[in-house]
Structure 1
Amino acid sequence: MPLPDFLVIGVPKAGTTAIHAALSRHPQLFLSQVKEPKYFLSDGPPPAWRGPGDVQTSQEHVWRPADYEALFDQAPPGALRGEATPFYLYDLDAQNRIRRLLPKARLVVLLRNPVDRAHSNWTHLWAAGLEPERDFVRACALEESRRAAGWAHFWHYVSQGLYGEQLAHLFELFPREQVLLLRYRDLRDDPVATLDRVCEFLEVETGLLDVVPAQNVTPFVADTRPNAVLRAVLRTGGRFGQHFPVPARRAVRGPLLTLLQRERGGRAKLTPAERAAVLPYFTSDIARLEEVTGLSYADWLTVGLEPDVID
């Protein structure tokens, strides 16, 4: 069966789209054209998530085995097959499914400061018109009620950043030599060396990838009254869009998003006050992450501002 030899399994908003695009250019690697097929997130049809836009996202899951295998049919002989779904690390059941089907798979994990990751996640959904809460700190505080209401993984701003818990489970399933841990800042600051580390881990030729394409950069969306109306319309479409064909949804949603994201400017910066308010969600798990990995993540405990991003 044409199944993957390696997976990029985490984490969202940490450069996984960029690294997928970069690795796709390597002649000895074949990555599925569908980025984030989400196959291991369910046994059978995906859950009926209830957050804004979640139903349409669930419809994009590649959950049938034959459809998933077909993603790798065109791999050249001898090429290593792979895919990137950054929710696999967070979803412990997905980890179990990977272990059952692909016990020898090599797994690539990119970790990002969990506060910055959460803010980037919130910014992404805000710019898409789906996030109704204009205050990032408040959106994090709403997570428990949102999870109880059945909102999908991408809304779990805090829980997705509990890497210590997630890696502890992963290392119970896979030997550590099958897992490559990277830091987002390494991909951002030294992309060529980071890509070479991935290629060395996958045992393919190094020195062939010299750029990380800019991918999935969240645009600027101001908090204005006209934009509030556009976001409300987009969220309404997110609730009812599943009843219409995908081309029709895109034909309506595309112009609305273009209008919402019409202004130029930098994304809203995470302030030291916001960082200080959200950091306590993660402090104990950062300690666990250091215990699990034997690495230091002490820089994540500061309230300084993160440099420019690539996600």
Structure 2
Amino acid sequence: MSLPDFFVLGVPKAGTTAMHAALSRHPELYLSRVKEPKFFLSDGPPPARGGPGDAQTYQEHVWRRTDYEALFAPAPAEALCGEATPFYLYDLDAQNRIRRLVPKAKLIVMLRNPVDRAHSNWTHLWAAGLEPERDFVRACALEERRRADGWAHFWHYVGQGLYGRQLEHLLTLFGREQVLLLRYRDLRDSPVRTLDRVCDFLGVQTGLLDAVPSENVTPYVADTLVNAGLRAVLRTGGRIGHHFPPRVRTTVHKPLLRALQRQRGGRPTITPAQRAAILPSFVEDIALLEQVTGEFYADWLTAGLEQDLFDA
């Protein structure tokens, strides 16, 4: 049986792609070639519908156990195996599935200021041409309706930032010694020290990883009439693309996305008014997070923007 020894299981837009890339360079670790296989997000085939682009994403899920185990079969005999699917923390059923199948797994959780995480999430989908709502605060307000309509986890801008309730559930399933909590800013500001912390937690040699590559950085996309047209075409493709073979989808999608992301410039940052509108959604949960973890996160109540460097 080839199953992971560890998971990077949270959260989206907090450096998980960069962490996956960095750990993949360690000789004692083997991470799945497929980043985010999403195996534990379902008990069988994933849903067939959702928001723009969700159907294609669901087709990429590695949901058959034989296929999932095959991801780790090439690992050297002594290597620790791992994967990074940042939705596992948010999905409480996924947490339960991991507990049933890999109860001794070590879990790496990367947390980010939930307001900045939500904004980066919205920016990612906006730059991909999939987010139809140009106003970040309004997009957050649409979350309940989108959830009811079956839109996938990545559209849950606010819900994914409620770390307190997610970790409260996780720590009923796994011992605290099995969970390593990191902050996005740790990886950003002290990458080598943070990677050594991860290696020490996993029980492999420290001092071998000296850099975190920039991965999955969202480009700047201006709100123009031309771009509005491109986004409309991309959303249409997101709704119907799953009916076509992957090669056809890629052939059509890539030129459109390149055209949408053709410009260079500073990415729009969250405004003080937007922050003030969204922050109340997280205040109670931040208090719960501190209670559950015994760590300090109250700086998120007043902190400024955590600049995107990874998974942006």
1:15 corresponds in structure 2 to 15
2:252 corresponds in structure 1 to 252
Q: Distance in 2 between matches of 1:192 and 1:45?
A: 39
Mapping 1:88-99, distance limit 5 Å: 88-99=88-99
1:308 CA displacement: 4.7
Cα deviation digits, residues 62-115 of structure 1 (max 9, x gap): 000000000001101100000000000000000000000000000000000000
Tell me if structure 1 keeps the 8 A contact 2:221–2:267.
yes
1:298 CA displacement: 1.1
Mapping 1:147-166, distance limit 5 Å: 147-166=147-166
2:63 is equivalent to residue 72 of structure 1: no
Please give the secondary structure, in 1, of the residue aligned with 2:95: helix
1:305 CA displacement: 2.9
Q: Distance in 2 between matches of 1:201 and 1:45?
A: 33
1:266 CA displacement: 1.6
Tell me if structure 2 keeps the 8 A contact 1:275–1:303.
no
2:5 corresponds in structure 1 to 5
Please give the secondary structure, in 1, of the residue aligned with 2:7: strand
Tell me if structure 2 keeps the 8 A contact 1:271–1:305.
no
* Cα separation, partners in 2 of 1:31 and 1:13, compared to 1, 3 Å: same
Mapping 1:185-204, distance limit 5 Å: 185-204=185-204
Tell me if structure 2 keeps the 8 A contact 1:6–1:82.
yes
2:47 is equivalent to residue 39 of structure 1: no
Tell me if structure 2 keeps the 8 A contact 1:137–1:278.
yes
Tell me if structure 1 keeps the 8 A contact 2:185–2:306.
no
Tell me if structure 1 keeps the 8 A contact 2:214–2:309.
no
1:220 corresponds in structure 2 to 220
1:307 CA displacement: 3.4
Q: Distance in 1 between matches of 2:306 and 2:10?
A: 20
Please give the secondary structure, in 2, of the residue aligned with 1:282: helix
Q: Distance in 1 between matches of 2:140 and 2:308?
A: 22
Q: Distance in 2 between matches of 1:7 and 1:133?
A: 33
Q: Distance in 1 between matches of 2:77 and 2:5?
A: 13
Q: Distance in 2 between matches of 1:158 and 1:226?
A: 30
Mapping 1:98-177, distance limit 5 Å: 98-177=98-177
Cα deviation digits, residues 183-227 of structure 1 (max 9, x gap): 000000000000000000000000000000000000000000000
TM-score by length of 1: 0.99
Cα deviation digits, residues 234-279 of structure 1 (max 9, x gap): 0000111011000110010000000000000121111111111100
Please give the secondary structure, in 1, of the residue aligned with 2:82: strand
Q: Distance in 2 between matches of 1:49 and 1:144?
A: 17
Q: Distance in 1 between matches of 2:49 and 2:291?
A: 34
1:278 corresponds in structure 2 to 278
1:309 corresponds in structure 2 to 309
Q: Distance in 1 between matches of 2:49 and 2:88?
A: 17
Q: Distance in 2 between matches of 1:121 and 1:19?
A: 18
1:48 CA displacement: 2.5
Q: What is the root-mean-square deviation in Å for CA atoms of aligned residues?
A: 0.7
Identity between Structure 1 and Structure 2 (%): 77
In structure 1, give the amino acid aligned to 2:279: L
Tell me if structure 2 keeps the 8 A contact 1:8–1:86.
yes
Mapping 1:293-308, distance limit 5 Å: 293-302=293-302, 304-308=304-308
Q: Distance in 2 between matches of 1:73 and 1:158?
A: 37
1:16 CA displacement: 0.1
Q: Distance in 2 between matches of 1:230 and 1:153?
A: 24
TM-score by length of 2: 0.99
Cα deviation digits, residues 124-160 of structure 1 (max 9, x gap): 0000000000000000000001001110000000000
Tell me if structure 2 keeps the 8 A contact 1:22–1:209.
yes
2:262 corresponds in structure 1 to 262
Q: Distance in 1 between matches of 2:102 and 2:15?
A: 24
Q: Distance in 2 between matches of 1:50 and 1:70?
A: 28
Q: Distance in 2 between matches of 1:7 and 1:294?
A: 22
Tell me if structure 1 keeps the 8 A contact 2:17–2:310.
no
Cα deviation digits, residues 33-83 of structure 1 (max 9, x gap): 000000000001012231000000000000000000000011011000000
Q: Which moved more, 1:270-279 or 1:199-208?
A: 270-279
